[in-house]
């Protein structure tokens, strides 16, 4: 097959997400192209993948529409790997092949960042956008067409941010104005949103079935890729049966994901931990916690953001995902930096509910009381100054501290004090019973 995709990153996520798409399209006869992986960091693990002929086993397991699924794939979408730290010329030579059309990346949230210490003659630049700029300049010199760049990093406007960094490098390195025009006019930097839990090498029976596969990968069945633009005629993902959305704006989909999936996690985590529950799966098996989450979702979150086919379908999928028996998602990992997460994931819904319905939502407000109780009485993992402010101040002082919430929440003081008193008197479980009875 032709090599048509340049993939920055060899980690678990892309191998359990994009490479699964690509492999499926090839095997369905809908596409004819493989990916070349560029190792994104020095000391990465592409050498071991090459030893396996760039093939590996992938298990996708979970619950879909109430049905338990356990799917096994042999992924053969990768043609070869390039380590730019050991063979920079091989990396740059990727710009010579006119068949390359797509650039896909997942270099962590910190990957799309401008570093002014990078130099044009570095072999290679340490930063990911720097490497992209080096590759694009060689492509420009060759007189070839540009790429469609599909970053999968979990930051806002990931395509726009990557383009911004590339143009900053063009300025820093004083590259020709014609190159900058070519970047803007001949390349498409696309904003995307990705969603799939990929847990990596499994610690169960799947590992015993493939003892020689060091790159065995595992994840959940659910997947979503929202892409600004429409390249279905070139990359027929929807025709291939994948949950891909071509759209003019990623933002509404991100709002749905953050408010529903992340909001559900953050709204239940403190109360669940204080009730002695340790994993998301256990939450779904616990009548109290699952009842609390169900009410928060269907009586508070969805009515606030808008109940439509997309949001209802996503919420249903979230409950299936949370019940996935194959994923042990620890609540304490979700609880990391809960104050900042609450401010982004839950608080906007809580305040919009008040504006829309004239009163504060009971479960989401109780989740704020639980959060304060968790920080005061448990062992939260967060910035020490944040922990100190909550441990050492009254509820009124905590809620009026705009440095914690990016706004003054004094209007919630009386209600949160009432809910907090119930937690102190009746315990976390008793408070959950009380709020569900309201």
DSSP assignment of 296-308, as one string?
Answer: IIIIIIHHHH---
Residue-averaged pLDDT of the chain: 95
Please write the tens of the pLDDT for every residue from 169-183: 999 999 999 999 999
pLDDT category of residue 115 using cuts at 50, 70 and 90:
very high
| One domain for residues 348 and 396 | yes
Within 8 A by CB and 6+ apart from 328, the residues are: 279, 281
Are residues 262 and 197 both part of a single domain?
no
383-392: long-range contacts (C-beta < 8 A, 24 or more apart)? 383/337, 386/339, 386/340, 390/339
The whole-number pLDDT of residue 2 equals: 97
Q: Is the pLDDT of residue 5 over 90?
A: yes
Same domain? 85 vs 17: yes
Yes or no: say if 260 and 222 are a contact pair by the CB < 8 Å rule.
Answer: no
Last residue of a domain, one of 185, 215, 247: 247
The pLDDT score that the predictor gives to residue 65 is 75
Least confident of 77-81, 273-277, 342-346: 342-346
> Quick one: what percent of the chain has pLDDT higher than 70?
100
Q: Judge if 164 and 43 occupy the same domain.
A: yes
223 plus 121 within the same structural domain: yes
- Tokens at 300, concatenated: 């508070």
Q: Are residues 238 and 101 in the same domain?
A: yes
pLDDT digits (tens, 9 = 90+) for 132-149: 999 999 999 999 999 999
Q: What is the domain range of residue 243?
A: 3-247
Domains identified in the chain, total number: 2
**Shared-domain flag, residues 240 and 106:** yes
Question: DSSP secondary structure string, 191-209?
Answer: -EEEE--B--S-SSHHHHH
pLDDT tens for 181-190 read: 999 999 999 9
Widest pairwise Cα distance in the chain: 73
* Boundary (domain end) residue, out of 225, 247, 269: 247
Other CB atoms within 10 A of residue 71 CB: 12
The Cα–Cα gap between 221 and 326 comes to 10
- Distance CA(87)–CA(172), nearest Å, equals 25
DSSP 8: E
Q: 183 and 298 share a domain?
A: no
Residue of 19 and 40 predicted with greater confidence: 19
When mean pLDDT is compared across 1-5, 110-114, 134-138, 162-166, the lowest value belongs to 110-114
Q: Using pLDDT thresholds of 50, 70 and 90, give the confidence band for residue 67.
A: confident
CATH number of the domain at 421, please: 1.10.1040.10
Check whether residue 228 and residue 290 sit in a common domain.
no
* pLDDT per position as a tens digit, 149-165: 999 998 889 999 999 99
Give the integer Cα–Cα distance in Å for 298 and 304: 10
Under the banding of pLDDT at 50, 70 and 90, the label for residue 47 is very high
Q: Are residues 234 and 300 in the same domain?
A: no
Same domain, 211 and 265: no
Exposed/middle/buried for residue 73 (C-beta within 10 Å: 0-12, 13-18, 19+): middle
Instruction: For 333-371, write each residue's pLDDT tens digit.
Output: 899 989 999 998 999 999 999 999 999 999 999 999 999
Q: 48: Cβ–Cβ under 8 A, 6 or more apart, which residues?
A: 214, 215
- Give this prediction's pTM: 0.81
Same domain membership, residue 175 and residue 47: yes
What pLDDT shows up at residue 109? Answer: 65
Q: What is the C-alpha to C-alpha distance for residues 50 and 47, in angstroms, rounded to an integer? A: 5
Peptide bond into 124 cis (omega under 30): yes
144: domain CATH number is 3.40.50.720
pLDDT band at 108 (very low <50, low <70, confident <90, very high): confident
From 247, 282, 301, give the residue that closes a domain: 247
% of the chain residues with pLDDT over 90: 88
Interatomic CA distance for residues 150 and 159, integer angstroms? 7
pLDDT tens, position by position, 232-248 = 999 999 999 999 999 99
């Amino acid at each position: 097959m032709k090599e048509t995709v340049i993939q920055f990153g060899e980690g678990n996520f892309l191998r359990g997400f994009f490479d699964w798409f690509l492999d499926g399209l090839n095997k369905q006869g809908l596409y004819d192209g493989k990916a070349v992986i560029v190792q994104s960091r020095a000391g990465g693990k592409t050498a071991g993948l090459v030893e396996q002929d760039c093939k590996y086993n992938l298990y996708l397991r979970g619950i879909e529409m109430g049905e338990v699924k356990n799917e096994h794939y042999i992924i053969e979408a990768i043609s070869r790997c390039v380590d730019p730290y050991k063979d920079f010329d091989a990396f740059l030579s990727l710009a010579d092949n006119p068949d390359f059309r797509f650039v896909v990346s997942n270099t962590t949230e910190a990957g799309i960042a401008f570093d002014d210490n990078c130099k044009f003659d570095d072999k290679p630049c340490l930063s990911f956008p720097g490497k992209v700029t080096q590759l694009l300049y060689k492509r420009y010199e060759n007189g070839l067409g540009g790429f469609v760049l599909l970053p999968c990093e979990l930051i806002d406007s990931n395509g726009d941010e990557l383009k911004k960094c590339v143009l900053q490098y063009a300025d820093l390195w004083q590259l020709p104005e014609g190159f900058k025009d070519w970047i803007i006019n001949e390349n498409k930097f696309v904003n995307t949103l990705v969603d799939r839990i990929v847990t990596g090498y499994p610690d169960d029976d799947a590992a015993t079935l493939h003892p020689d596969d060091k790159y065995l990968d595992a994840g959940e069945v659910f997947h979503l890729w929202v892409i600004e633009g429409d390249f279905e005629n070139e990359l027929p993902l929807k025709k291939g049966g994948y949950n891909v959305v071509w759209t003019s704006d990623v933002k509404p989909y991100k709002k749905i994901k953050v408010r529903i999936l992340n909001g559900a996690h953050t709204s239940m985590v403190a109360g669940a931990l204080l009730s002695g529950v340790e994993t998301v799966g256990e939450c779904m098996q616990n009548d109290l916690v699952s009842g609390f989450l169900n009410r928060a979702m269907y009586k508070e979150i969805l009515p606030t953001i808008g109940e439509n086919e997309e949001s209802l379908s996503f919420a249903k999928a979230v409950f299936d995902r949370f019940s996935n028996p194959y994923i042990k998602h620890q609540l304490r990992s979700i609880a990391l930096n809960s104050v900042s997460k609450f401010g982004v994931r839950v608080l906007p819904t809580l305040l919009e509910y008040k504006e829309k319905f004239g009163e504060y939502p009971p479960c989401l407000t109780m989740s704020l009381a639980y959060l304060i109780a968790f920080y005061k009485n448990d062992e939260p993992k967060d910035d020490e100054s944040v922990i100190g402010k909550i441990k050492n101040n009254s509820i009124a002082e905590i809620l009026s501290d705009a440095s914690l919430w990016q706004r003054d929440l004094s209007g919630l003081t009386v209600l949160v004090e009432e809910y907090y008193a119930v937690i102190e008197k009746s315990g976390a479980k008793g408070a959950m019973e009380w709020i569900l009875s309201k």
